[in-house]
Amino acid sequence: MKPLIAGNWKMNGSLAANEALVKAMLDGLGSQTPGADMALCVPAPYLAQLQSLVSGSAISLGAQDVSAHEQGAFTGEVSATMLKDFACRYVIVGHSERRQYQGETDLLVADKAKAALAQGITPIVCVGETLAERDAGQTEAVVKRQLAAVIHAVAHCTSEIVVAYEPVWAIGTGKTASPEQAQQVHAVLRAQLAAATQHPERVHILYGGSMNAANAASLLAQPDIDGGLIGGASLKSADFLQIVASAL
């Protein structure tokens, strides 16, 4: 299984900046086939632009959120069918920023994962503990609870999800989980997947949280770390490509 390196641009970008960034990434890749699958999860208004920029390239398109509903009176929401119209292959669900600022619950995140799968879009399900939870020794319980909600909702489709372990205290802070700390949690998640699907090894478990060009190789060398979800460093072409190269 090839590793997956997915960028999360968060609420950053402009038509001009996106074009320059993606062109720099594609120039950097040249004609080589990267050793990792690559994706960029971009703000919804830029999906059409990105669809055209990455068309025919090694980079897949992803969104950062999806509605749990199929259609209707849900002002401001974007459905999985709409994402499919722009050839989205991935969508992030349950990012800690949405759990924190939009009050998204485990149940809602699970419904979003289900809605994405129903349209053939792979949900990148984010789980992770806060610093207070880690300090209280609750890391395992928290990530297992978050993943259990999704497994319960998607049932026999569990092997089709991507999981991203993102300790909240490491996101955008410059503090990275050590490779050992991350591997320990990834192993717990793999065991949980093993109880739910016959092919737990087919599920990418990504690490996210201040992963960068300097620390990517040691994190990606861990047996249960199958790629990365990259925030800040995905806004710099050289750094993102360096992370992709580290996944070889």
Q: List contacts with ligand PEP (CB under 6 A).
A: 8, 10, 166, 171-172, 208-211, 229-233
- The one catalytic residue in 95, 97, 186, 204 is 95
Closest separation in Å from C-beta 230 to ligand PEP = 5
Q: Where are the beta strands (DSSP E) in 59-210?
A: 59-63, 90-93, 122-127, 162-165, 205-208
| Cβ closest to ligand PEP, residue 8 vs residue 197 | 8
Q: Which residue in the shown chain puts its C-beta closest to ligand PEP?
A: 231
Locate 85 and state its tokens. 């119209």
- The one catalytic residue in 104, 166, 186, 204 is 166
Closest separation in Å from C-beta 65 to ligand PEP = 12
Q: Is 186 a catalytic residue?
A: no
Whole-number Å distance between alpha carbons of 228 and 209 = 9
| Cβ closest to ligand PEP, residue 165 vs residue 197 | 165
Q: Is 95 a catalytic residue?
A: yes
Closest separation in Å from C-beta 165 to ligand PEP = 10
Cα–Cα–Cα angle for 18, 23, 29, nearest 5°? 130
Please classify residue 51 by burial: count the beta carbons closer than 10 Å to its beta carbon, then call 0-12 exposed, 13-18 middle and 19+ buried. middle
Locate 76 and state its tokens. 């401001």
Whole-number Å distance between alpha carbons of 155 and 135 = 32
Whole-number Å distance between alpha carbons of 154 and 196 = 10
| Cβ closest to ligand PEP, residue 189 vs residue 229 | 229
**Which candidate, 8, 18, 41, 64, places its Cα nearest to that of 209?**
8
| Cβ closest to ligand PEP, residue 106 vs residue 239 | 239
| Cβ closest to ligand PEP, residue 171 vs residue 196 | 171
Closest separation in Å from C-beta 219 to ligand PEP = 12
Whole-number Å distance between alpha carbons of 113 and 170 = 24
Taking phi first (over 0 means left), then psi (-120 to 50 degrees means alpha), and beta for anything else, what does residue 128 get? left
Closest separation in Å from C-beta 171 to ligand PEP = 4
Catalytic center residues: 95, 166
